[in-house]
Amino acid sequence: MFRSRRRMDSKARRVALQIGGSRVALGMAIFLATRPTLRAMRFPEPGPTGVALAKLGGSRDIAIGALTLGALSDPDRLRTVLLVSNLCDLADASAFAFAARDPQMRLPGVTGVLSGAAAAAAGFWAWRRLGD
């Protein structure tokens, strides 16, 4: 595959590095220490289905984060990966908005909406700058 030869925006690359690294770190925490991580995020105690779904989300974050980190040297590929990452963040924020209607999920739901929307905003900012 041919690498892009155009100069990469250093601020956008730094934001992508932070997004990718954060995704890998959070994904690893959720996958390897599911219950303690969910407690720290103020989720109610999950049953076996909740643990399995949390691990699924953690593995998704590890994969997307690794793809982001692996694309840091190619602005076109990084832009594509960031778009996928941003859309996942928006989907997460939407899911948390629905979950926040349940009183037990209010705090983690609102926190999830805010963090998902903030991550998507930062990601779309970087995505836009990589397209210039």
Domain that holds residue 70: 10-130
For the segment 57-80, the average pLDDT, to the nearest whole number, is: 97
Identify whether 89 is part of a domain.
yes
Q: Which two tokens stand for residue 11?
A: 């601020």
DSSP 50: H
Q: Determine contact, residues 54/38, Cβ cutoff 8 Å.
A: yes
Identify whether 121 is part of a domain.
yes
Which range has the worst mean pLDDT, 6-10, 20-24, 72-76? 6-10
Identify whether 1 is part of a domain.
no
- pLDDT value for 30: 98
Q: How many domains does the chain contain in total?
A: 1
* DSSP labels, 22-42: HHHHHHHHHHHSHHHHHHHTT
Q: How confident is the model at residue 7 (pLDDT cuts 50, 70, 90)?
A: confident
Per-residue pLDDT for 1 more than 60?
Answer: no
- pLDDT value for 19: 97
